[in-house]
Structure 1
């Protein structure tokens, strides 16, 4: 074994002489790597200085957070059906709000997706205009839309449903258009070769290919909207978020944590059901 060490050192020296760039970084590369590292670290340092992030503040905040987390166990258990019914009704309201908002967004998005699909819409200017419209809808956060609709329609789940639906139109239309674009051309050519119209080519050639992906996207976004529906409730759109905000404002942390646990359990159930449906569809 010791006899091979000089031989390996000789091979290493030969490799260095043949490929010096592989063993030594040039000054330009070192400068570039240093610039990349500085570009990554500079925002952290700037944010810490501007936002007043200090070790003392972090320690104090972590100690307070530990005090809040200490209320997690044991969680509060409601003892009367009236208390349980209020919480369960809020959970059901959030799930229904997410379902209806997702459904309305999907129904409105499907015809719009054909305007943004390259293999359906030949007019590039209309396709580009449609795509930018989708981006504009996706750029506005659901919570901002909820505040707007609360101002227009008042407090309650209606504002949350409309906020989810409008936000999902932009997301669904973009994802549906991409799913339609990624379909194979052969079924479409087969329908047209048989004398079918453009509508029949879309109905029998494109939709059967893209529909499983579209349904999978809808299920995934429904699961996501069930979570975001809680945040919309906090700003006044009803549902379990309203009850959670009420408990937190009153510093009733044991009840707040119990509600959070129920939200997590509900999301787990929705996730399990949607995963099963997605596997069957795809």
Structure 2
């Protein structure tokens, strides 16, 4: 079977090529113009923020030099040549690291429960009343806008030094962050099951229970595990304001210029975060299946 392809006259082909080239040129011109505007705005923003490239170039050696110092023992040797001297306080640091993990776990759990209870009122497709949605959304914004370390400082003043201030700070910030993520997850559900449940005369609570929760729970669990990983890093900084955990020992080492201690504590925190990331990834795979994560 022979198939004949229609051919266009050379003049028409030339006209089509010219139109195509003109369209491509316009796209490239718009891209170039947008890139120029972006660069100009970036430069203006840099001047407004008093970013000094000259200072960065001149002082970058101090940054590199600090990392060189924290990898040296007091004897002048590299830290990996004498691990026993490097991790001389590992028992105390592990105890404080465990306190940090518990602080993060409790704060994340309280925050997740609070976000779970509020997110349905913040979702545009589920909230019973616009005024209630407005109030809940603004409350969640307040919780996540104020830095957690500021909350920790306030609670340290109120309740004194210790992990309690860190737990409360992480919990409040987690409510705001997870509440936002949960509500967006709820807004993207398939509305047909919800409409079907409502058509039976079911209450708002029953509609959420039977039509919404089965769709959003995998996403809620995934966001919660991610938030726990983030909160471990947050809790490591809480010690800078006396809210307990390994961060309290880290800030002491920084202030007293115990360079090798700084690197040892940082390494322990980094390894802990690596392990948590691997474990939460495995747990997500067990909960939802590897196929749904690809």
Shorter-chain TM range is: 0.7 to 0.9
How far apart are the structure 1 equivalents of 2:188 and 2:16?
Answer: 51
How far apart are the structure 2 equivalents of 1:54 and 1:70?
Answer: 25
Contact 1:75 1:257 in 2 (8 A): no
Instruction: Normalising by structure 2, report the TM-score.
Output: 0.79
Task: Tell me the secondary structure at the aligned position of residue 55 of structure 2.
Answer: coil
* 2:280 matches 1:274: yes
Identify the range of structure 1 (242-251 vs 196-205) with the bigger mean alpha-carbon deviation. Answer: 196-205
Q: Residue in 2 aligned with 1:104?
A: 110
Task: Tell me the secondary structure at the aligned position of residue 237 of structure 1.
Answer: coil
TM-fit CA distance, 1:61: 4.8
Pairing of 1:45-124 with structure 2 (within 5 A) = 53=55, 55-69=57-71, 73-74=79-80, 77-78=83-84, 83-124=89-130
Q: Residue in 2 aligned with 1:183?
A: 189
Q: Residue in 1 aligned with 2:43?
A: 41
Two-structure CA RMSD over aligned residues (Å): 3.2
How far apart are the structure 2 equivalents of 1:97 and 1:172?
Answer: 17
* 2:149 matches 1:143: yes
- The C-alpha deviation readout for 1:165-205, integer Å capped at 9, x for no partner, is 01111111111111222222233334345554332221121
How far apart are the structure 2 equivalents of 1:30 and 1:170?
Answer: 39
Contact 1:231 1:241 in 2 (8 A): yes
- The C-alpha deviation readout for 1:45-64, integer Å capped at 9, x for no partner, is 56566697264334455445
Pairing of 1:121-140 with structure 2 (within 5 A) = 121-140=127-146
Given the superposition, is the C-alpha separation of residues 115 and 77 from structure 1 closer, same or farther in structure 2, using an over 3 Å criterion?
same
How far apart are the structure 2 equivalents of 1:73 and 1:107?
Answer: 43
Contact 1:98 1:225 in 2 (8 A): yes
TM-fit CA distance, 1:266: 0.9
Structure 1 gap segments, 5+ residues each = 1-10
TM-fit CA distance, 1:23: 4.4
How far apart are the structure 2 equivalents of 1:192 and 1:26?
Answer: 51
Contact 2:120 2:126 in 1 (8 A): yes
* 2:242 matches 1:236: yes
Given the superposition, is the C-alpha separation of residues 199 and 85 from structure 1 closer, same or farther in structure 2, using an over 3 Å criterion?
same
Given the superposition, is the C-alpha separation of residues 42 and 185 from structure 1 closer, same or farther in structure 2, using an over 3 Å criterion?
closer
Pairing of 1:12-27 with structure 2 (within 5 A) = 15=17, 19-20=21-22, 22-23=24-25
How far apart are the structure 1 equivalents of 2:43 and 2:246?
Answer: 40
How far apart are the structure 1 equivalents of 2:256 and 2:275?
Answer: 29
TM-fit CA distance, 1:69: 4.7
TM-fit CA distance, 1:236: 1.1
How far apart are the structure 2 equivalents of 1:109 and 1:265?
Answer: 29
How far apart are the structure 2 equivalents of 1:245 and 1:116?
Answer: 39
Q: Residue in 2 aligned with 1:247?
A: 253
Kindly tell me the number of residue pairs found equivalent between the two proteins: 271
TM-fit CA distance, 1:235: 2.0
Q: Residue in 1 aligned with 2:167?
A: 161
* 2:226 matches 1:220: yes
- The C-alpha deviation readout for 1:127-172, integer Å capped at 9, x for no partner, is 1222122112111001111111111111111110000001111111
How far apart are the structure 2 equivalents of 1:191 and 1:160?
Answer: 42
Instruction: Normalising by structure 1, report the TM-score.
Output: 0.82
